[in-house]
Chains A and B, each alone.
Chain A
Amino acid sequence: MNDYILETQNLGLRYGAFAALGSVDLKIRKGTIHTVIGPNGAGKTTLFHCLTGERTPSSGSIRFAGKDLTRQPPHKRVATGMSRSFQITSLFQNLSVRENLRLAAQGRDGLAALAFWYSDSQRQQHLQKADEILERVKLTALANTCAGDLSHGQQRVLEVGMSLCGDPELLLLDEPTSGMGIDDIPIMTDLISELGKQHTVMLIEHNMRLVMSISDQITVMHQGNILVEGEPDQVRGDERVKKAYLGESGS
């Protein structure tokens, strides 16, 4: 039995001559919260883009749930059970919170959503999904509010909520707390650890307190490669990690 849901092999991405991603072998175990950390410019976002399909890797391969999807476009990965949130909030600003979630649920249908001859409210399952996620992310009271009218913290929560609507097996979250005020962070922490019970979560995060408290596994990246990997306690004490972060603040 292979209990890794996602495996990359020699994954690399070059921007011209510059290797933003060297050669990454990342393995994410099913049912865990796996966090990728590292100083700025370490290649975390680049790795993320390769996994979601935003960027095509220059080398290596990505296997997800037993299938090779190295070259699959982003929209096709959703149907295989992979879903993502964005570091920079990316919502349908002029639509209601519920419609944002309903659309995200409809996205799992792929091309079946091309149906133009019946009402979208006939697809009750999408509405139900939206209402279920509203409850889970505690935005029910704001269901009919425009997404653009939410506070920044609420938008971040909706951002994560949308990635839940496609019933993903693997959730890829890019800095979910990005730009969040100190008061809102516990909400996100709770939400993610809650999600970790039902999904495999791969997380990119800067907030160390959050990372250490909820991660099962941590991968530290540095200059496009994996530096250290292990459980929070192992990573916390590692000298190489300290040096990598010190190097950043020193430069």
Chain B
Amino acid sequence: MNTTSKTSIYKGITPAALIAVIVMPMVLPSTTLATEILIFALAALGCNLLLGYTGLLSFGQGIFFGGGAYAASLSMIHLNFGLLSALLCAMIVGALLAALVGALAIRRTGIYFVMLTLAFSQMAYFLAYTLSDWTGGDNGLLDVPRPALEIFGIQLADLTSSQAFYGFVAALFMLIFIFARRVIHSPFGSTLVAIRENEGRASAIGFSTSHFKLLAFVISGAITGIAGALYAMLLNFAPLSNIELMMSENILIMTIIGGTGSLLGSLLGAGTIVMLGDILSSIWPRWMIILGIALIAVVLFMPAGLWGGIESLMKRFRESKTSEPDPKLQQEAKS
């Protein structure tokens, strides 16, 4: 009998993510590239909570990403916010924007929900474009600082070097990764899965599904806002493209290619897309065509994404070694 030995959130894919985070800067051509991967992995993580675990396809992720980038940048430039307070500010703005978008969008389901998030995305872009006094409009917001890591005025680390900044982003990534696993394996997270599986039944057994979807949005927005803030700090610049529909699409593509329903998939998806972009864009300016083909291939042949593909490979490998597969192990390897 299974005495519900739920996977600890510190085991399984958490050490796997930790190893990836440690190895990445060693094997990748630049630390900046590795930092960018982690930042987009955070955005994909936030997206995955909605798409993979709640079943909500949101085109609003760019709003939270761009909103977080602007919030952190503006608070550092105009209010002299430090690193952590700027990130906190981005997190809150991301959460609030997500609460706003979520509250209205979840009044509808299916394609109407998707259309609403699309409409919000367009609105946010034009708003950012129009408010060019604040956002720099088309030119983007220049001279975004990257303050040192301080707690109560005591400087802990100078993040000017790309290595130091990577270290900081990596630590934050691991924290949020573990947090996201906690969320998924909580009463709240299991209810999200129930909503994804069968919303009518979830409601019939007592869950007010709209409250759950809204909180999923808020958590997703908070994480995505932090990612946006880190991206602005990495580039020392907050481009308008942060809040474009294209950004939402990219985040969605990373999430889907990596594999919905697994947090490690989000890291894999972000890594794949960011690296493909980095390598291919220097060789061939029309590299997005390849991205399109890759997306089609994954959706058609690997519905569980790259991570799902790796999982089933590992499963086959394990089965060929031990003739008797352990269904419990397979279940726990997930999420």
Contact = CB atoms under 8 A, between A and B. Distances in A.
Interface of A: 52, 73-76, 78-79, 83-84, 86, 90-95, 98-99, 102-104, 106-121, 123, 127, 143-144, 162-163, 165-166
A117 B182 CA distance: 6
B57 interface: no
Given A90-B200, A95-B197, A123-B187, A107 B206 contact: yes
Contact of B182 (A103, A116, A165): A116
Contacts of B259: none
A116 B327 contact: no
Nearest to A84: B204
Interface of B: 1-2, 4, 6, 9, 182-183, 185-191, 193-194, 197-198, 200-209, 211-212, 215, 219, 327-328
A108 to B, nearest CB: 6
Given A75-B209, A93-B198, A119-B6, A103 B204 contact: no
Contact of B198 (A79, A91, A163): A91
Contact of A121 (B4, B193, B207): B4
A119 B189 CA distance: 9
Contact of A74 (B182, B187, B204, B215): B204
A87 to B, nearest CB: 12
Given A109-B187, A118-B187, A162-B205, 18 more contacts: A75-B208, A83-B205, A91-B201, A92-B194, A93-B197, A94-B197, A99-B190, A103-B190, A110-B208, A114-B211, A114-B212, A115-B188, A116-B188, A120-B6, A121-B6, A143-B1, A144-B328, A165-B205
Contact of B204 (A75, A114, A118, A121): A75
Contacts of B204: 52, 74-75, 78, 84, 86, 90
28 contacts: A73-B208, A75-B207, A76-B208, A90-B201, A92-B197, A98-B2, A99-B190, A103-B190, A103-B191, A103-B205, A106-B187, A106-B191, A110-B206, A111-B211, A113-B187, A113-B191, A114-B188, A114-B211, A115-B186, A117-B182, A118-B182, A118-B186, A119-B9, A121-B6, A121-B185, A143-B1, A144-B327, A162-B205
Contact of A115 (B187, B193, B207, B208): B187
B211 A120 contact: no
A36 to B, nearest CB: 19
A78 B198 contact: no
Contacts, number: 117
A127 B1 CA distance: 13
A118 B9 CA distance: 11
A127 B2 CA distance: 11
Contacts of B202: 103, 107
A86 B203 CA distance: 12
Given A91-B198, A103-B194, A144-B2, A74 B203 contact: yes
Contacts of B208: 73, 75-76, 110-111
A55 B188 CA distance: 27
A77 to B, nearest CB: 8
A113 to B, nearest CB: 4
A108 B206 contact: yes
Nearest to B327: A144
Nearest to B186: A116
Contacts of A103: 190-191, 194, 202, 205
Contacts of B4: 98, 121, 127
A95 B201 contact: no
Contacts of B212: 113-114
B98 to A, nearest CB: 15
A233 B187 CA distance: 48
Contacts of A78: 204-206
Contacts of B191: 103, 106, 113-114
A99 to B, nearest CB: 7
B205 A104 contact: yes
Contacts of A73: 203, 208
A118 B203 CA distance: 22
B326 to A, nearest CB: 11
Contacts of A143: 1-2
A119 B186 contact: yes
Contacts of A76: 208
A117 B189 CA distance: 10
A52 B189 CA distance: 26
With most chain A CB atoms within 10 A of its CB, the pick from B4, B202, B211 is B4
A112 B186 CA distance: 11
A189 B212 CA distance: 37
A49 to B, nearest CB: 11
With most chain B CB atoms within 10 A of its CB, the pick from A93, A114, A144 is A114
Contacts of B194: 92, 95, 103
Contacts of B207: 75, 107, 110, 113
A84 B200 CA distance: 12
B198 A92 contact: yes
Contacts of A75: 203-204, 206-209
Contacts of A163: 205
A120 B265 CA distance: 23
Contact of B189 (A83, A91, A112, A120): A120
Nearest to B188: A116
A28 B190 CA distance: 35
A110 B211 CA distance: 10
Contacts of B205: 78, 83, 103-104, 107, 162-163, 165-166
